[in-house]
Structures are given as C-alpha cells and as structure tokens.
Amino acid sequence: MKTPSAKLFVRRLRRSEVPQDTIALARFLIGKVIVHDFPRGRLAGRIVETEAYPPGDPAGHHFRGPTPRIRSMYLSRGHAYIFFNYGAHFMLNVVSEPAGTAAAVLIRALEPLQGIEQMQLHRKTTRLLDLTRGPGRLAAAFQIDRRHDGSDLCAPGSLWLGVTRHRTGPIGKSVRIGITRAADRLLRFYERGNPFVSGPKRLLLPVSSRKKSPLTR
C-alpha cells in the first residue's frame, strides 16, 4: 500500500455547503476531509465511513432530551460534538441540524492523507490500516478530545472540515454498528472498497445484496 503524498490541497468547507438534514449530511461527508492543524504540522484524513443519528433516533444520545453532556448537539450544523465512549475513547461527531434541534453524524473512519508519521506516534503503531479505522482510533490519531467539543468545524480554527480534489468512490449503506435500538435502520454510509472502512465484512455489502447473501441470514 502506498503512503499518501505529504502535499495536499484542502479547501475549508463553508457552512452554506453543509446539508441541513442528518441523513443527507452523513452521505455528503463521505470523501470530505478532517483537518487538525498543530504548530508542528497538519494532520488530514478523508472521511470514508459515517453513521447518522437523526432527530428522535432511539439510538442517539439526544433521545431522552437535553443534558449538560450533549449541549453541543444543539448547536447549528457543522459544529463538533465529542463524547467519551465506554470510558476509553473519544469520538468525533458533526452536528447536523439547525440550532436547537439535537442530531449528529458520527465519523467512523478516515483514510490518512497528511501527517501520517505524527499519527503513528499518537497511536503507537506504524501499521497504516490501524491508524484511523474506527472512531476511537481516529480521535486518538488526530488528538481529538473533549477540548474540541462545540468547535465550529466551518470556521477558522485548528480543527475543521475540508474538501479536496480527490474523487469519491461509490457509496454504500448498511445498518449501524454496535447499537441495539433502531438497529435495522440503514444509516451507516461508507466508501465501497476502501480498506480504511471499519466494521465486520458482512456489513460492507451493497444494500441490494444484503437480503440475498448467506452472511445476512
């Protein structure tokens, strides 16, 4: 596997470009870029897997109403919602609805593009596929934590969303991973064939194939 080039042009994503719908945003974000700028250099990775948690979703943190922990989910679309999962991993979400309506898109996996050596130090591994495949891993690789909760990802700042000239491949969808409520909803989106997508192989089939495959019976 070739290591991505260190040279990369990324344009900051404008809020006017961000869909005002959670499911539409989850699909739209495939192929977009997460950038984290540090004094020592830039980390960047293409989003290759997301999960949508729309308003009223029983699987969402917002289902039971507002709490101090999820305050950032009520910001306008394009802000970051960061939560600490199972007391072990931070996870990056992009707020997805107008201000006052709680919903978000979980960023599940990235394809590393820039700052790979620094990611390897953060993750304590040199294996490229292990750097950002999964929401906990990508947050660790990019040094994303609770300090970034509520950050505006469409405004000047160190953590932001961007667009590159990189072509996005076919997008598939499936059920979400690791949930028990509303577990049958096809709200997970991913770039088909990308090796950095996380999750069991049985979830990576095109939707049209899932009912026919013995793996889903």
Q: Where are the domains of the chain?
A: 11-216
pTM of the model: 0.87
* Beta-ladder partners of 45: 34, 112
DSSP, collapsed to helix, strand or coil, labels residue 74 as helix
Q: What is the pLDDT of residue 200?
A: 63
Is the separation of the CB atoms in 22 and 105 below 8 Å?
yes
Q: Where are the alpha helices (DSSP H) in the chain?
A: 22-28, 116-123, 135-141, 207-210
The model's pLDDT over 155-211, given as tens digits with 9 standing for 90+, comes to: 999 999 999 998 999 999 999 888 888 888 899 999 999 999 997 654 555 444 444
Count of alpha carbons within 13 Å of 152, Cβ hemisphere only? 10
CATH topology (fold) of 11-216: 3-methyladenine DNA Glycosylase; Chain A (3.10.300)
Contact residues for 5 (Cβ-Cβ < 8 A; gap 6+): none
**Size of the chain, expressed as the number of residues it contains:** 217
